Amino acid sequence: MPIHIIFLAAAIITLAPRPVLSLSASPPPPPPPSLPLLAPIQKDHTTLRYTLSVYLKTPPQRLDLLLHLGGRFSWVDCYSGNYSSATYRHIPCNFSVCVPLDSLACGYCYDRPPGPTCSNDTCEYFPENPLTRKVGLEDALLDALGLPSTDGSSAGRVDVVPDFLFSCAKPDLLAEFPKGTSGLAALGFSNVSLPVQVAEARSLLRCFALCLSGSRSAAGVTFGDTVITYAREPAAEYYVGVTAVRVNGKVVPLNATLLAIDEESGRGGTLISTVLPYTALQTSIFRAVTQAFAREASAAFNLTTIQPVKPFSLCYSARDVGVTRAGPAVPAIDLVMQSEDVFWRVFGANSMVRIQRKGTDAWCLGLVDGGAEARAAIVIGGHQVEDNLLQFDLGSMRLGFSSSVLVRGTTCADFNFTTDNHT
């Protein structure tokens, strides 16, 4: 059955300029007339991170890039195997994409022959590895970006964005990236992120959707709808306005000050990350939530904890845990937004992680302690986002989300983008 993103959106989050996504009960945006562009996403089971496939250069070359929801701009290793393309261009330093925030540097080149990584009066960016926080200083380039598109009846055509802006990077910036990746795909809150450039190039709405799959065999997909600097700050991450956490319907007592973003320091708040495998909670929140979870699992599900398996701290014998369509039968965790009836419900499939090794077969609560001084109170990680459909509408500053699509009997790996007149 073809699935249309819009009809899965159960709630809408408002993107505030920060960008804080606070949930609002407003109706979902009208359905887009088409779903033109999409890019397959694969999970790398070694690093527990996600990669997105695109085509770059002329003739087009397929690249796998680390998916980074909080990235400002994309970057690609231009050094390994020689950057060869008939369509690349440098950007003169006086162009607007080179103004502070996006770039602070203007590059010149004396020591090498001119090429993709050597040019005079050229805009330079500061590509950052989000896993190691290492930063480079490299030429920005424009080149042809290809994304598969669907015309409503078949997938497989590749549509080209002629002047896609990205930064070069040296291969050592790829440290800790999934094997086979050659850069980073930035989907963050910025004017030069991948979805925004695609939208601009095609005069479409600034809108994209993300459906991550943990499946080993099939790919999840992100797609533009009518689609939608050395600047560690301001962040390009998407924040969600979580005001409370419930476990099995009961509010967990928390220091609510931490849940709000401190305007001065920028600390606190809840953000969504695709480069963190598991949700990280500030220490006091982590303790409160795991305690509440253990209590409810025992009282309502008759579950007894076993010796925990690192990095987790709350585990149950898989033998004792029942199974539902939405994963193991455990207390649901609700991330409550600005009103009680607007919440992101995390079912067992997203809250629990199966650990099978050395005679252990356990389901562990897939949350980790982010530390007492964590930058954000809650960082929602990849495992908790899988099989949830998220639609980011940067035009109206809203995020539509589905909660687990598993309860609807489907998964992000099963998405079929060939639709019958989009019905």
Ligand X SMILES: *[C@@H]1O[C@H](CO)[C@@H](O)[C@H](O)[C@H]1NC(C)=O
217 binds ligand X (CB under 6 A): no
Number of residues that bind ligand X (CB under 6 A): 24
The binding track of 346-385 with respect to ligand X, each residue x by CB under 6 A or -, is: ----------------------------------------
Beta bridge partners of 64: 53
- Alpha helices, DSSP H only, in 72-220? 194-201
- Six token digits for residue 395: 């035009």
Beta bridge partners of 358: none
CA 138, CA 197: separation in Å to the nearest integer? 20
103 binds ligand X (CB under 6 A): no
- Six token digits for residue 194: 């991948």
> What residue type is assigned to position 141 of the chain?
L
Closest approach of Cβ 370 to ligand X, in Å?
Answer: 13
**Which of 132, 339, 356, 418: binder of ligand X (CB under 6 A)?**
418
Q: Which is nearer to ligand X, 151 or 176 (CB)?
A: 151
The binding track of 62-81 with respect to ligand X, each residue x by CB under 6 A or -, is: -------------------x
* Distance between start and end Cα atoms, the chain: 10
Closest approach of Cβ 138 to ligand X, in Å?
Answer: 15
154 binds ligand X (CB under 6 A): no
**Which of 14, 149, 190, 197: binder of ligand X (CB under 6 A)?**
190
CA 300, CA 226: separation in Å to the nearest integer? 45
- Six token digits for residue 167: 């930064």
The residues, any chain, with a CB within 8 Å of residue 387's CB and separated by 6 or more, are 211, 212, 213, 214, 349, 350, 404, 405, 406, 411, 412
82 binds ligand X (CB under 6 A): yes
Q: Which is nearer to ligand X, 102 or 387 (CB)?
A: 102
> What residue type is assigned to position 407 of the chain?
V
**Which of 48, 97, 105, 118: binder of ligand X (CB under 6 A)?**
118
The binding track of 268-307 with respect to ligand X, each residue x by CB under 6 A or -, is: ----------------------------------x-x---
Count CB-CB contacts under 10 A for residue 132: 13
Looking at residues 241 to 270 of the shown chain, list those that interact with ligand X (rule: CB under 6 A): 255, 257-258
- Six token digits for residue 52: 């997105």
109 binds ligand X (CB under 6 A): yes
Any idea what DSSP says for residue 135? B
Any idea what DSSP says for residue 92? B
- Footprint on this chain of ligand X (rule: CB under 6 A): 2, 81-82, 92, 94-95, 108-110, 114, 118-120, 189-191, 255, 257-258, 302, 304, 416, 418, 420
